Amino acid sequence: MIIPEQVRAAAREHPYPLLFATVSGAHLYGFASADSDWDLRGVHILPASEVVGLLPLQETIEVSRDEDIELDLVTHDVRKFFTLLLRPNGYVLEQLLSPIIVRTSPEHEELKQLVPLLLTKFHAHHYIGFANNQWELFRKEPAPRVKPLLYTFRVLLTGIHLMTEHQVEANLAVLNQTYRLPFVPELLDRKINGAERETLGPEEIERFEAEFLKLRERLVDAAAKTSLPEAATARPALNDLLVGIRLKN
């Protein structure tokens, strides 16, 4: 994948050193169209001199640009990001493991090695909740779009895959090589080769609702049967990594 220079520049111009910056959103999920915006996510490192002081910390930095391309950059300070990792939050795991890397570091690689110690059975709740929200958005639209429908199926398959295979995979096309949902290739084609606001006809909605309910139940069942633990065990290793990063900065 060719990463636009504007995306790379946004990472280079960040006011703090970056542990990593990766691409999330539709590009990561495998259904970006020509007019999709770029979602850049990452971790910045506040210097120890700021962390130990009394002034407010820039724990989260957000930048939006709409010049040649639409770009959204969000980074968290390393301590905040590590705290998010210890919660059953699949979104931050996907950012950490995104294969579309704009900036990286040795500590980024160390952090990825800890992912098996972060996975829990309760990550299923994140994906079920996200799928329910996306389905509600889809159903509330006067002209339901393909995009939220793809998000719905993507998070359900990501959750199922995490519960059964203990791996984080966010790309819908890659996931469907395993789960082979017959309607996914057509939806991907409509989104990728259509426009951001590609819509569905009323006759399709009932069929997709049945598929949504079936996959959601499959995720619930996979969560009940998974051998993943109830709690992450990475806290001591994350603490050591965080201390090492702070001492270097």
Q: Does residue 197 surpass a pLDDT of 90?
A: no
104 and 139, same structural domain?
no
Do 75 and 166 lie in one domain? The reply is: no
pLDDT digits (tens, 9 = 90+) for 137-146: 999 988 888 9
Same domain? 160 vs 214: yes
Same domain as 113, residue 94: yes
Question: What is the pLDDT at residue 203?
Answer: 81
Please compute, for residue 223, the number of CA atoms within 13 A of its CA located in the half-sphere on the CB side. 22
Query: What CA dihedral angle connects 181, 182, 186 and 188, to 10 degrees?
Result: 10
Q: Please tell me the predicted confidence (pLDDT) of residue 196.
A: 61
- Judge if 85 and 130 occupy the same domain: no
| pLDDT tier, 67 (very low <50, low <70, confident <90, very high otherwise) | confident
What distance in Å separates the CA atoms of residue 186 and residue 184, rounded to the nearest whole number?
5
For residues 168-189, give the mean pLDDT: 96
Q: What is the pLDDT of residue 201?
A: 81
Is a pLDDT exceeding 90 seen at residue 232?
yes
Q: What is the DSSP letter of 122?
A: T
Say whether pLDDT at 229 is over 80: yes
The pair of structure tokens assigned to 29 is 């999920």
Phi-psi region of 167 (alpha: psi -120 to 50; beta: other; left: phi over 0): beta
* Per-position DSSP letters for 73-87, written without gaps between them: EEEEEHHHHHHHHTS
| Residue where the block lists tokens 């990766």 | 22
21 touches 74 (CB < 8 A) = no
- Structural domain of 130: 123-225
Is 70 in the same domain as 156?
no
Same domain, 107 and 176: no
131 shares a domain with 110: no
Report the CATH number at residue 236.
3.30.460.10
- Report CA 189 to chain centroid distance, whole Å: 21
154 and 202 inside one domain = yes
What pLDDT score does 195 carry?
63
Point out the least confidently predicted range of 54-58, 76-80, 151-155: 54-58
Q: Is the pLDDT of residue 180 over 70?
A: yes
Domain count, the chain: 2
Verify that 197 and 105 share a domain, yes or no: no
Residues 133 and 104 grouped into a single domain: no
Q: Share the mean pLDDT of the chain.
A: 94
This prediction's pTM: 0.94
Confirm if 11 and 42 have CB atoms less than 8 A apart: yes
pLDDT of amino acid 108: 98
* 155, 239: one domain: no
